[in-house]
Structure 1
Amino acid sequence: MNPKIKELSKAIRKVSHSCHSYEVFEDFIQLAATQISNSVDPVHFESRHIAALETQKKYSDDENRRMCEAFEMLCGIINENLLCGEFEDILGRIFEELRIKVKGQDFTPDCISRLAAAMIFPEKMILPECGYITLSEPACGSGAMILAAAARLISSGISCFEQCVVFAADIEIRAVHMAYLQLALNGIPAVVVHGNTLTCQEYDRWYTPMYIHGKWVWRKPLGFTCGRNKDDELLKLMTEPMYAAMQYAETLITRKSSGGSSNEMSW
């Protein structure tokens, strides 16, 4: 294991002596994921902010400060990796190092992820007419397969930051937090869904900063189904004033023509 990842794992374990290391890790990835999400996503801001405050109450001011320091360490490691053109499953390795075996979870080793990516993507790739590639990972875990795919795309001449968009899903919230953190910090446009891939039931969704900044919600809406997603529509309304005005006008016209009085918008 990378020595710096070992240092990060040690820093997370040292956050609190009153909580088990796996509980501290779970809280760490939740708070870190929320910090990123709430900097760009107005749709889920309030609910995630409230949940984060409840989690922070479990720790003292000094322990919360250590959480922040551990987050800074994670950002630093990923930034160094990006400068070297590397995409590493940092949180997955820490998860296994802490021996968190609830629900029998095991994550794909980096070597297997790289092998799979090499088998799927050719050495040289040509973009389709739409100008980008869509990746789907229905059981994403910590995001190892996606990170390996990103590295392979870079070596194949495709920018995983601008010419690729990712849909990832997992039924386990810890996996969602880990995958979201790593995809967000690695600059990959993605929607990470907490949901059941087999039943297509979605509980929540997390937009990475590059997905929002790249306006991918307009270019490539993502989900279990092809229908319009309520959170996507709310994101459009809250980030594009003209779209909100058009939707409002459409609602007024529809209400007037139908003789109804409902103020609800239909998606």
Structure 2
Amino acid sequence: MDTQQQRVAIVTGASGGIGRAVAERLATDGMAVVVHYSGNAARADAAVEAIVRSGGRAIAIGGDVADEVAMGALFDQAAERFGGVDVLVHSAGIMPLSPIVDMDLDAFDRVQRTNVRGTFVVDQLAARAIRPGGAIVNFSTSVTRLQPPTYGAYAASKGAVEALTLILARELRGKDITVNAVAPGPTDTPLFRDGKPQSVVDAIAAANPLGRLGMPQDIAEVVASLAGPARWINGQVLFVNGGAA
């Protein structure tokens, strides 16, 4: 395939969980994929190998999403290797949990740096680099509506992500670039399961109207639509949670 014609996607946080499912789905849709990772190069390499085995094209590039120099280099490498950038899916984020009254402020600052500054950095670069007909897909969370205890810092960071998403969609008027956010509910990933006993996981799954947790592929399905054919969806936050109240 002519690399100048193939669509190119950068997926942050793509070494595992939802990010990896998104990277593999976009590759299945015919995109060349940059698999971004923060600290686990081996898992990112495994994601690349899975895409290549299936006939796709992918490379792994590491870096801190809140570091504008590192992320600038990532966008430059994507363009040099594949000819340009058409899609950014920004799934990287962290989720330390604590009641607000007890939360260490250094932990709070880390959440905001990664989730808010990181989104601002990669969205800014994407707004400058993405070709017409492209898409930016950020990640929020259904926690911004469900508002359970211990999620205060995380929900605050994702509320900021939603605001950035909607404003950027309006600022890119005339560029033919859509900007949306997906807001998953409880999804069966290591990040979700971390620190939860199985009884809690089972109760959360049973509370959903569909009687289960979301799967990474459920989220990837929606992202693939926003990244490809769903051109009339713009400036929206889509709650992808199976009907969680």
TM-score where L is the length of structure 1: 0.30
Which structure has the bigger radius of gyration? Answer: 1
Q: Is the helix fraction higher in 1 or 2?
A: 1
Q: Which has the higher contact order (CA 8 A, sep 6+)?
A: 2
